[in-house]
Chain A
Amino acid sequence: MSKGTLFDKVWDLHTVGTLTSGQTQLFIGLHLIHEVTSPQAFAMLRERGLKALFPERTIATVDHIVPTTNQARPFADNLAEEMMQALEQNCQENDIKFYNIGSGNQGIVHVIAPEQGLTQPGMTIACGDSHTSTHGAFGAIAFGIGTSQVRDVLASQTLALSKLKVRKIEVNGTLKPGVYAKDVILHVIRTLGVKGGVGYAYEYAGTTFTQMNMEERMTVCNMSIEGGARCGYINPDTVTYEYLKDKDFAPKGADWDKAVAWWESIRSDADAEYDDVVVFDAAQIPPTVTWGITPGQGIGVDQLVPTPEEIHEEDRFLAQEAYSYMDLIPGKPIQGTKVDVCFIGSCTNGRISDLREAAKVARGHHVAEGIKAFVVPGSERVKQEAEAEGLDKIFVEAGFEWREPGCSMCLAMNPDKLQGRQISASSSNRNFKGRQGSASGRTLLMSPAMVAAAAVKGKVFDVRELLLSR
Chain B
Amino acid sequence: MVSEVKTVSGHGIPLVGNDIDTDRIIPARFLRCVTFDGLGEHAFADDRKAKKGNHPFDQPQYQGAKILVVNRNFGCGSSREHAPQAISKWGIQALVGESFAEIFFGNCVAIGIPCLTAEPAVVKQLQEILTTNPQTEMTVNLETMQLQCGDFSAPVAMGGGARNMFISGTWDACGQLVSHAEQVRMTAAKLPYINWS
Contact = CB atoms under 8 A, between A and B. Distances in A.
Given A21-B170, A43-B35, A53-B181, A432 B21 contact: yes
B42 interface: no
Interface in A106-133: 120, 122-123, 128-130
A446 B33 CA distance: 31
Contacts of A225: 103
Contact of B184 (A151, A158, A411): A158
Q: Which of A77, A148, A262, A412 has the most CB of B within 10 A?
A: A148
A25 B170 CA distance: 14
Contacts of B181: 53, 156
B84 to A, nearest CB: 8
B76 A439 contact: no
B31 to A, nearest CB: 5
Nearest to A56: B194
A228 B101 contact: yes
Interface string A1-43: 0000000000001111101111101010100000011011001
Given A83-B32, A262-B192, A152 B173 contact: yes
A147 B81 contact: yes
Interface string B176-197: 1110110110011011111011
B36 A146 contact: no
Contact of A433 (B23, B29, B32, B81): B23
B50 interface: yes
Contacts, number: 221
A149 B110 contact: yes
B27 interface: yes
A54 interface: yes
A333 interface: no
A423 interface: no
Describe B's contact surface by its main secondary structure: helix
Nearest to A195: B73
A250 B77 CA distance: 32
Contact of A413 (B28, B161, B164): B28
B72 interface: yes
B6 interface: no
Interface string A35-62: 0110110011000101001100000000
B78 interface: yes
B99 interface: yes
Contact of B103 (A19, A39, A145, A315): A145
Which of A195, A294, A435 lies at the interface centre, i.e. has the most chain B CB atoms within 10 A of its CB?
A: A195
A128 B110 CA distance: 14
Contacts of B162: 21
B24 interface: yes
A208 to B, nearest CB: 26
B161 A432 contact: no
A155 interface: yes
B73 A130 contact: no
Contact of B101 (A157, A159, A195, A321): A195
Contact of A48 (B27, B80, B174): B174
B106 interface: yes
Interface stretch (A168-176, A251-259, A390-398): A251-259
Given A21-B165, A23-B161, A255-B197, A228 B34 contact: no
Given A130-B78, A149-B106, A439 B50 contact: yes
Please indicate which of the listed interface residues B32, B181, B187 has the most CB atoms of chain A within 10 Å of its own CB.
B32
A198 interface: yes
Interface in B94-125: 99, 101-103, 106-107, 110-111
Interface of B: 17-19, 21, 23-24, 27-29, 31-36, 46-47, 49-50, 72-73, 76-82, 84-85, 99, 101-103, 106-107, 110-111, 159-162, 164-165, 168, 170-174, 176-178, 180-181, 183-184, 187-188, 190-194, 196-197
Given A195-B73, A254-B197, 10 more contacts: A25-B177, A37-B81, A40-B34, A77-B32, A147-B80, A149-B110, A195-B101, A230-B103, A433-B23, A439-B27
